[in-house]
Chains A and B, each alone.
Chain A
Amino acid sequence: MSATAIQLVGTEPSDRRGVTLEPETSRSAAPASTSAPAPKQTESVTPTAVAVKDLSTPRLDLKDITKIFHGEAGEVVALQDVNLVVKPGEFISLLGASGCGKTTLLRIIGGLEKAYSGTALLDGRPIKGPGRDRGFVFQDHRLLPWLTVEENVGFGLAHLKKKERAEIVQAHIKLVGLEAFSKSYPSQLSGGMAQRASIARALATDPEILLLDEPLGALDALTRMYMQEEIEKIWQAKPGLTVIMVTHDVDEALYLSDRIVVLSPRPGRIKRIVDVGISRPRPREGQGFNTIKKSLLAEFHLSHKEDDPEFTI
């Protein structure tokens, strides 16, 4: 790997694409931009660098987010000076090892974590708490066991009239392909189906941002890959939907994301932001894929071949 061929972080403002890759991916780079029409914005790793202003208002604008947990073992800096700008329609992955604060960051965006310093703006307005403009999918599906799939999917729609609610619920059950299970209870679903129902529940309120907290972490490897394709389809079926996904699976991040935000632990901070310029639907291997993967794994001090369960579950 030559350092000049790969430029994972755009250093010049004129660089529209953070990742400049070998010919194979350069060719496929153009169609990829259709999923994120706005020119790619480049962020720098160093907190001092100013992010380049895009003309479109960012969907999400995080400035100097710092979160400290006060536990019995003293203070733990979960996040330090995190700056991130997310454009409408982007698919972002927060990638990092356990304890890097990626879930905390997602929870701050979701409004579930309140005591932090810095500003978190959603469409220019400060995030004050949870809301229907964000859909949250937890690692464990958290479907309520006493409700059927359709009742779970309609959970956030209690304010609507019955008929309107039923229409939205059916549309979302169809979106995730669970038509045959709409009357089933969560305990009757497989892990993958339950997580699809959970995604449908989060999307039913028509949020602008879908927040996925390691949604596939509890699934087996094959179901994971299938679900990654499902998530991509769902994202593409909802134009303008921004997705922020927490993962510790490099392949998953590479398969799905427009940009991968690499976080490093203790204190949790953004180490690098990687623009994945591979066209969709993406191959799960190939030179472009492998080059970025190699470089990402190097961030975690792993060689490409190594199989450390901590990072490649």
Chain B
Amino acid sequence: MSDRSISVIKGLVLPAVLLAAWTLSTWNRHSLLFPAPSLSFQAIAELWNTHALQGYLAVSLRRYALGLLLGTSLGFVAGAALGSSRIIERFFLPNFHMFRQVPLVGWIPLLIIWFGLGDLSRIVLIAMGAFFPILVNTHAGFRQVPRNYLEVGDAFGLTRWEKIRRIAIPAALPWIRSGTILSLTFGWTILVASELLTQANGGLSDILDVGRERFRMELVNAGILILGLLGFLFNYAATRFWSIGPLKWLSQNIHTPSKRGTT
């Protein structure tokens, strides 16, 4: 058995034990506050069969995707600009840090006044949540691009733009990866927060709202389970994407027979 599958199994031990304990404790009796997990699974199946879940998913994922797209692309561009120009850095970095200190939910009233209670406010809020992690990481990544690599670009007569594209961005990718994964996670949190602003908004949080209003805890638990699983899935997919795609080279340090350090 591979190391990987062993570690997956180890990771599943605790949830399996908890699930079993929960199931046993609710065996043959009905608890309003702690309904049996099987009821939540049934609720998920029911949501799926009635196509309600698909509808919630479509609405939520659209908000999430648009918010992330907006936030990460702006955050990347801003981070890259800050990281490649000292002048831009001096002018803008303190301002960015100042804005970052405002807790994200503190913007909500302002966003509602500007953009209303619709999806636009939510998308902007998610974008703001995704913006800063990728900005900070891209900036840091650009700052640490080894001068030696940039000099290789000089030796080949590359322009400033070519050096950014062909040297700085690839060299900063490990940092950019961290930024995107943080943005993804944070954005998911902000999505749920933004959805809970209004009821019956059509997104996944409606499952939680309906469950709470009708005191159907199994529905609330089902909603939490769905949000957790999806968040985990996105995080996993993003990590996999980077490690088999653009950052494949990072995991190739296998064979180093007589590699010497540089003096």
Contacts and interface: CB of A to CB of B under 8 A. Distances in A.
A240 B167 CA distance: 32
Contacts of A144: 149, 152, 167, 170-171
Interface in B243-258: 246-247, 249, 252-258
Given A130-B157, A155-B152, A223-B258, 4 more contacts: A110-B155, A187-B249, A188-B256, A205-B156
B256 A129 contact: no
Interface in B125-168: 148-149, 151-152, 154-157, 162, 166-167
A265 interface: no
A158 B196 CA distance: 51
Interface in B157-203: 157, 162, 166-167, 170-171, 173
Interface residues of A, number: 34
13 contacts: A112-B154, A129-B157, A138-B148, A140-B148, A142-B148, A142-B151, A146-B247, A158-B162, A188-B256, A194-B259, A217-B263, A218-B262, A219-B260
B258 A185 contact: no
Contact of A190 (B151, B152, B167, B257): B257
Nearest to A204: B156
Main secondary structure of the interface of B (DSSP, over half): loop
A235 interface: no
B103 interface: no
B249 to A, nearest CB: 5
Contact of A185 (B166, B173, B252): B252
B192 to A, nearest CB: 36
B256 A140 contact: no
Contacts of B263: 139, 217-218
Contact of B252 (A134, A140, A188): A188
Interface residues of B, number: 29
B235 to A, nearest CB: 23
Given A155-B152, A156-B156, A190 B259 contact: yes
A15 interface: no
Contact of B249 (A185, A189, A194): A185
Main secondary structure of the interface of A (DSSP, over half): loop
B258 A191 contact: yes
A131 interface: yes
B225 to A, nearest CB: 39
A189 B253 CA distance: 9
Nearest to B256: A187
A126 interface: no
A218 to B, nearest CB: 5
Interface of A: 110, 112, 129-132, 134, 136, 138-140, 142, 144-147, 155-156, 158, 184-185, 187-192, 194, 205, 217-220, 223
Contacts of B254: 188
A192 B152 CA distance: 19
B173 A146 contact: yes
Given A130-B154, A130-B157, A132-B156, A187 B253 contact: yes
B94 interface: no
Q: Which of B167, B247, B249, B254: most chain A Cβ within 10 A?
A: B249
B261 interface: yes
Contacts of A185: 249, 252
A130 B255 contact: no
Nearest to A211: B155
B200 to A, nearest CB: 48
Contacts of B166: 155, 158
Q: Which of B156, B162, B171, B247: most chain A Cβ within 10 A?
A: B156
Contacts of A147: 170, 249
Contacts of B257: 190
